């Protein structure tokens, strides 16, 4: 399987289990949005492929995009379906939408919501520290406070303070959800993260 070959050995939190969770979330949202079975099939395909071209996970994005195109063509997908899938996976990332929100298709919005939901809540906390550890980042660093005024794609990509990532991205995702189902699920997960961060701050300070 193409995706298994690409991400089967991932140790950054973008593994096959991540894809399975996002797929379940995407289907749940799609059903609530009354998407057709054909549209859900396209959604599933986009979920499967969305991390293959991620610049964090591949050494050559252009080659990865070409491989994805070839896989889709070989699968028998129509030109319209391929266009929707490519548009989704190439433009759904948080970093690509820092300056201006990209107008995704309805399929793209659902995949984006599902992927973002897996970045927050309990699993999001676990993945955040797991990814940071895999890259040798500091768990927290008081000498690198979060500065929203300096947040652009470069600053976002070069940040090495794991706790800052909650303020750079994760706590903001609820307000960026596209669907009503996504917003409801994000509210619960965001509350969990906020409680975690309060407790973490207490423990870092050594308070009882």
Helix (H, G, I), strand (E, B) or coil at 161: strand
In this model, does residue 131 exceed pLDDT 80? Answer: yes
Q: How many CB atoms lie within 10 A of CB 104?
A: 19
pTM of the model: 0.93
Residue 150 pLDDT: 67
Phi and psi of 138, rounded to 5°? -75, 140
Q: What is the pLDDT of residues 76-118, one digit of tens each?
A: 999 999 999 999 999 999 988 988 899 999 999 999 999 999 9
d(CA 28, CA 181): 8
Q: What is the pLDDT of residues 135-186, one digit of tens each?
A: 999 999 887 777 776 666 666 777 888 999 999 999 999 999 999 999 999 9
d(CA 109, CA 121): 20
Residue 205 pLDDT: 87
């Amino acid at each position: 399987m193409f995706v298994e070959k690409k991400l089967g050995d991932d140790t950054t939190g973008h593994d096959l289990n991540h894809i399975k969770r996002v797929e379940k979330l995407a289907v749940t949202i799609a059903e609530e949005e009354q998407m057709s079975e054909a549209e859900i099939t396209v959604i599933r395909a986009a979920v499967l492929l969305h991390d293959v071209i991620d610049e964090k996970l591949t050494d050559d994005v252009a080659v990865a995009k070409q491989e994805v195109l070839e896989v889709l063509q070989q699968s028998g997908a129509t030109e319209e379906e391929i266009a929707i899938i490519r548009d989704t996976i190439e433009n759904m990332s948080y970093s690509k939408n820092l300056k201006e929100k990209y107008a995704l298709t309805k399929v793209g919005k659902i995949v984006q919501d599902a992927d973002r939901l897996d970045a927050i809540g309990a699993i999001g906390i676990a993945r955040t520290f797991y990814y940071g550890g895999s890259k040798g980042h500091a768990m927290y660093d008081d000498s690198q406070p979060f500065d929203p005024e300096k947040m652009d794609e470069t600053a976002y990509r070069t940040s090495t303070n794991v706790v800052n990532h909650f303020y750079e991205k994760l706590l903001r995702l609820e307000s960026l959800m596209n669907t009503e189902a996504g917003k409801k699920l994000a509210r619960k997960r965001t509350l969990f993260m906020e409680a975690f961060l309060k407790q973490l701050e207490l423990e870092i300070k050594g308070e009882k």
